[in-house]
Amino acid sequence: MSLITVPSTPYAGQRPGTSGLRKKVPVFQQPGYLENFVQALFDGLDGAQGTTLVLGGDGRFHNRVAVQTILKMAAAHGFGRVLVGAGGILSTPAASAVIRQHGAYGGLILSASHNPGGPDGDFGIKFNTANGGPAPEKITEGIYARSQTITAYRTSDAADVDIDTLGTRELDGLTVTVIDPVADYAALMRETFDFPAIRALFTGGFRLRMDAMCAVGGPYARAILEGELGAPAGTVVNAVPLEDFGGLHPDPNPVNAEDLIAHMNGADAPDMGAATDGDADRNMIVGRGADGRAFAVAPSDSLALLAAHATRVPAYRRGLAGIARSMPTSCAADRVAQALGIPCHETPTGWKFFGNLLDAGQATLCGEESYGTGSDHVREKDGLWAVLFWLNVVAATGQGVEALVRAHWARYGRNIYSRHDYEAIATDGAQALIARLRGQLAALPGQTLGGRTVAAADDFAYTDPVDGSVSRQQGIRVLFSDGARIVYRLSGTGTEGATLRVYLEAVENDPTRQGVETQAALAALIEVARRLADIAGLTGRTEPSVVT
Ligand code: G6P
Ligand code: ZN
């Protein structure tokens, strides 16, 4: 067993996107592909010698191979210790918690989040820093630059290490400690929420269906909900992480979590439904509607409602320092922030933009329209945390999911919201569409479109209030004088062609009209959005492929 240097040549396209480097599994299986990226990453680290690294992933296909590769490279780069989740498992929020709890240098999380897995599915790797959050662009751009000039990588020719048995072993001078992937995270949840109240809720017969979508959330949900909180066995379904997620697309939205929606539509629907994604950082909350239909909570509403009820949760009893939402997320949270007299920050899409605000104590809760919600307890969004937060609020108020949301709308107004995705379109057409919109911006203010007047239009730019860094071209915004908005941006997480996202929002303050069906309420705005960007002409699509 010795440390070796292996000659290598660069692979094009190793630039991390919104959330790490994501590619199809066969791309990652090319000789030296992962090694090049990890070498480029390690080469940029200062003072990592002798420190602790955290390692784990969502258990998807290629996870175990990648864990072994990285352990050997960590040995060759002089890390002191790697904490690896048993079986190579760590959900994204749990990895963040472990990094923080153990004062680690950082962590590598192996996941392509909600993208399908399996031999032909996606794989991914992301680097989180000592605060537990995704590495900022400065770091990821550095990794990319080095990946393009790489000539060799350093590793060990040692045999694979046992990553399934808890305990400590040695690999070419590196201490490898296999940890229980759930323990640190469960302890944090116990400190955060009112566990006795949630336990009493379940004892009282409250029924939850928690769908882990055959992904990494399963073991966490089982241990905490069924193991600690007394939810009946079988509350967590699809609880065993599978390498191909059982063929599911583990993205918790009404389209992909259709089985959960079907149960919530059924005659025997439980009181609440919830789902988490591939790496368990996303969440969807569903109520049992008074009309007998599933009542899916819009993620933007979820953020606003949790913020409004935050003081019912032990960890937030003293109130919130601020809220932060990504720009395309609806303005529902802004209204709560205003009522509470706290700031609401508007950031570009990508959880990493919340990191500085959380570290600086300028925000306590954060959320995104893409089914992500979280707080300063870690530096990632956190699916199970959101489910526990909802359970805590239900327990504290005695109200169900739908009643809570309707009461929220009645008090703060409803920001009716939908996202239309045009997936796997030609990259050229997508870029042309955005460029054309950019050219139209200056002429838009004052125009009347679909009966609404444009108040402002821009290409969103963000100046981080903590470090002053500027991020430009983060999405085209068309803001109307009645509070409605249309936002266009290209996804930063796709692996096939481009995905155009169109975000639509209209404000309804009249409680008697807040029950309206979302797509019907937004019909005029949808029409304007399609025409303004000439979506059919430039993408060849007349309808979106996914509507959430
Ligand atoms: C990931 C990121 C989120 C982001 C989402 C959508 O889940 O962690 O922060 O909102 O992707 O990104 P996209 O660029 O595909 O719209
Ligand atoms: Zn995810």
Same domain, 224 and 269: yes
Counting from 1 in the atom list of ligand 1, the atom nearest the Cα of 17 is 14
Q: Are residues 199 and 99 in the same domain?
A: no
ipTM exceeds 0.85: yes
Phi, psi of 413 (to 5 degrees): 90, 160
Binding site membership of 368 for ligand 1 (Cβ less than 6 Å): yes
Whether residue 169 sits in one domain with residue 190: no
Query: What is the token pair recorded at 467?
Result: 């470090």
| Contacts of residue 543, Cβ cutoff 8 Å, sequence gap at least 6 | none
- What CATH number does the domain containing 118 carry? 3.40.120.10
C-alpha 70 to ligand 1 mean position (Å): 25
Out of 378, 394, 412, a domain closes at: 412
371 and 462: one domain?
A: no
The ligand minimizing its distance to the Cα of 372 is: 1
Number of domains in the chain: 3
What residue's CA is closest to ligand 1, atom 9? Answer: 350
Q: Hunting for tokens 């304007």 — which residue is that?
A: 528
In angstroms, the CA 182 to CA 192 distance is 15
Q: Are residues 388 and 449 in the same domain?
A: no
Q: For ligand 1, say whether the CB of 92 is within 6 Å of any of its atoms.
A: no
Residues 314 and 208 in one domain: yes
The reply to whether 118 and 51 lie within a common domain is: yes
Q: Whose CA is nearest to atom 4 of ligand 1?
A: 350
What is the dihedral sign for C-alpha 127, 133, 137, 138?
A: negative
Domain endpoint, select from 353, 380, 412: 412
The reply to whether 144 and 291 lie within a common domain is no
DSSP code per residue over 171-223: ETTEEEEEE-TTHHHHHHHHHHS-HHHHHHHHHTT--EEEE-TTSTHHHHHII
| Ligand 1 pocket member 415 (CB < 6 A) | no
53 and 93 in a single domain? The answer is: yes
Shared-domain flag, residues 51 and 146: yes
For ligand 1, whether the C-beta of 491 sits within 6 Å is: yes
Q: Are residues 103 and 128 in the same domain?
A: yes
Domain final residue pick, 412, 429, 449: 412
- The minimum-distance atom of ligand 1 relative to the CA of 326 is 10
* CATH number of the domain residue 464 falls in: 3.30.310.50
Question: Whose C-alpha lies nearest to ligand 1, atom 2?
Answer: 350
Ligand 1 center to 470 CA (angstroms): 19
Domain of residue 507: give its range: 414-547
In tens digits, what is the pLDDT along the chain, a chain of 548 residues?
A: 699 999 999 999 999 987 899 999 999 999 999 999 999 999 999 999 999 999 999 999 999 999 999 999 999 999 999 999 999 999 999 999 999 999 999 999 999 999 999 999 999 999 999 999 999 888 999 999 999 999 999 999 999 999 999 999 999 999 999 999 999 999 999 999 999 999 999 999 999 999 999 999 999 999 999 999 999 999 999 999 999 999 989 999 999 999 999 999 999 999 999 999 999 999 999 999 999 999 999 999 999 999 999 999 999 999 999 999 999 999 999 999 999 999 999 999 999 899 999 999 999 999 999 999 999 999 999 999 999 999 999 999 999 999 999 999 999 999 999 999 999 999 999 999 999 999 999 999 999 999 999 999 999 999 999 999 999 999 999 999 999 999 999 998 776 799 999 999 999 999 999 999 999 999 999 999 999 999 999 999 999 999 99
161 and 31 part of one domain: yes
CA atoms within 13 A on the CB side of 280: 37
Please work out whether the CB of residue 349 comes within 6 Å of at least one atom of ligand 1.
yes
User: What global pTM score does this model have?
Assistant: 0.96
